[in-house]
A and B are shown apart, each in its own frame.
Chain A
Amino acid sequence: MQPAILAEGIGKGFRTGLWNPVKPVLRQVDLTVAPGAIFGVLGPNGAGKTTLISILATLLLPDRGRAQVLGMDVVRQASALKGRINLAASGSHFLWCMTVADSLRFYGRLYGLGGRALNHKVERLLDLFGLAEHRAVTFERLSTGLKQRLSLAKALINDPELLFLDEPTSGLDQDMAHQIRGEILRLNRETGVTMLLTTHNLREAEMLCTEVAFLKDGQLISEGRIPDLQRRLGLGDHLSLIFPDSPAPLDYHRLPGVLHYTVQETRVDLVLDRVDERLPLLLEAVYGTGTKPVKVVVKPVDLEEIYHEITR
Chain B
Amino acid sequence: MKLRVNLNKIWSFSVRSALVTRRNVFALFEMLFWPLIGIFSVGLLTRFLNLEGETVAFILIGAVTMNTVQIAQLDLAYALLYSVWSKSLKHEFIAPVRLSHILVGSGLVGLVRGLVVFVIMGGLSVCFFDMDLGRAGLAGLSLFLLGLFLNAAIIGALVLALVLRFGQRAEVAAWAFSYLMLLLCGLYYPVSVLPGGVQFVAQLIPLTYFLDYFRHFYGFPPVSRHPLLYGFGQTVVYLFISYGLVCLTLKSAYRRGTLLRLSD
Binding site for B on A (CB under 8 A): 14, 50-51, 54, 57-61, 79-80, 82-83, 85-87, 89, 92-98, 102, 105-114, 118, 138-139, 154, 158
Contact = CB atoms under 8 A, between A and B. Distances in A.
A111 B95 contact: yes
Contact of A58 (B20, B92, B94, B263): B94
Interface stretch (B3-11, B129-137, B201-209): B3-11
A14 B82 contact: no
Contacts of B6: 112
B159 to A, nearest CB: 19
Nearest to A112: B5
A311 to B, nearest CB: 25
B260 interface: yes
**Closest 5 CB pairs between A and B?**
A109-B12, A112-B5, A110-B95, A93-B87, A82-B96
Contact of B4 (A51, A92, A96, A114): A114
Interface of B: 4-9, 11-12, 15-16, 19-20, 23-24, 82-83, 85-88, 90-98, 254-257, 259-260, 263
Contacts, number: 97
A109 B24 contact: no
Contact of A87 (B7, B8, B90, B255): B90
Nearest to B8: A114
Contacts of A92: 88, 91
A107 B11 CA distance: 11
What secondary structure prevails in chain A residues at the interface with B?
Answer: mixed
B88 A94 contact: yes
B16 A61 contact: no
Contact of A60 (B7, B20, B97, B254): B254
What secondary structure prevails in chain B residues at the interface with A?
Answer: helix
A109 B11 contact: yes
Nearest to A83: B96
Contacts of A86: 94
A139 B83 CA distance: 13
Given A97-B20, A110-B12, A57 B86 contact: no
B90 A95 contact: no
Contacts of A87: 90-91, 94
A59 B94 contact: yes
A43 to B, nearest CB: 17
Contact of B259 (A59, A80, A83, A94): A59
A101 to B, nearest CB: 11
Contacts of B254: 59-61
A95 B86 contact: yes
B88 A112 contact: no
A107 B263 CA distance: 16
Contacts of A79: 96, 98
Contact of A93 (B4, B11, B86, B96): B86
A306 B208 CA distance: 70
Contacts of B95: 82, 107, 110-111, 158
A281 to B, nearest CB: 52
Given A93-B88, A97-B23, A50 B15 contact: no
Contacts of B11: 109, 114
A133 to B, nearest CB: 21
A59 B82 contact: no
Contact of B8 (A54, A94, A109): A109
B248 to A, nearest CB: 13
Contacts of A112: 4-6, 8-9, 96
A83 B98 CA distance: 12
Nearest to B258: A60
A154 B82 CA distance: 18
Contacts of A94: 86, 88, 91
Given A92-B91, A109-B12, A60 B257 contact: yes
Contacts of B16: 95, 98, 106
A198 to B, nearest CB: 13
Given A80-B96, A82-B94, A97-B19, 8 more contacts: A57-B94, A58-B94, A60-B255, A60-B259, A110-B97, A111-B95, A112-B96, A138-B23
Nearest to B10: A109
A110 B88 contact: no
A51 B127 CA distance: 60
Contacts of A95: 16, 20, 82-83, 86, 88
A267 to B, nearest CB: 50
A54 B257 contact: yes
Nearest to A82: B96
18 contacts: A14-B256, A50-B260, A54-B90, A54-B260, A57-B94, A60-B257, A60-B259, A79-B96, A82-B95, A86-B94, A87-B90, A95-B86, A97-B24, A98-B19, A106-B16, A107-B12, A109-B15, A110-B9
